[in-house]
Structure 1
Amino acid sequence: MKEIIKKRSNVFAHNCVKLAVELPKSRLGNHIEGQLIRCSTSVAANYRAACLGQSKRAFISKLGIVIEEADESIFWLEFLRDEGLGTDTYFAQVLKEAKELTSIFIASRITALKNLNQQ
């Protein structure tokens, strides 16, 4: 399962980068471009790091970062939508994937915490 989520988070990051670089070259577009690229690529990078964790506590800690970055990705994608800059089907699919990945990361962290507490 971890390999599937690694792949999905990587594809998600690439899709966000593709959306970001197509934004209008304006003050707002440039700002959101940078923010979306940073947080979405951080999701993929930090999830990979979480999977390499030395301990269950390290995994849980890294997942917390992943969740925060995924939620920030959702924020910027929703902001784009609300500004009328994200209206096509491709954009909607990327936003949907952001929400699904965030739910998966939250569930994984809850499970990992339960397992840690049962030891």
Structure 2
Amino acid sequence: MRFLAVLLALAVTATMSLPASAQHGRKSSQYEREREARAACREPVRAAGDAYYVIRSARRSAIKRWQEQVINAHGERFITWENAKVVEYHCDPARVGGGQQVWNLKRCVIVARPCRNDGF
């Protein structure tokens, strides 16, 4: 009987010494996941690429410019385009040659929120 009382006292002591997050695991872990998700993304970054004949190349150029701006502002953990949350993306005819459209060039502009790459 004395053994059971000691065992019960140890169990109560161990439970009381746990942090609140371990005692209420579901609520705090959900809160922490939401907090981490908010902290994982930064404010939107806008970038315009160079003008190209092919839209695919113009889009690649805009993404490269976006990545350059993101790495300078937030570091390498945020440059992965696949993790970004795209806010706006469009490609329009480029104004080359004194403000008039001389060639059939396209320029893409992207606005996206850089999000942390947890693979590092």
Is the pair's TM-score, using the shorter chain for normalization, greater than 0.5? no
Larger RCO, structure (CA 8 Å, separation 6 or more): 2
Q: Give the TM-score normalised by the residue count of structure 1.
A: 0.25
Which one has a bigger Cα radius of gyration?
Answer: 2
More strand by share: 2
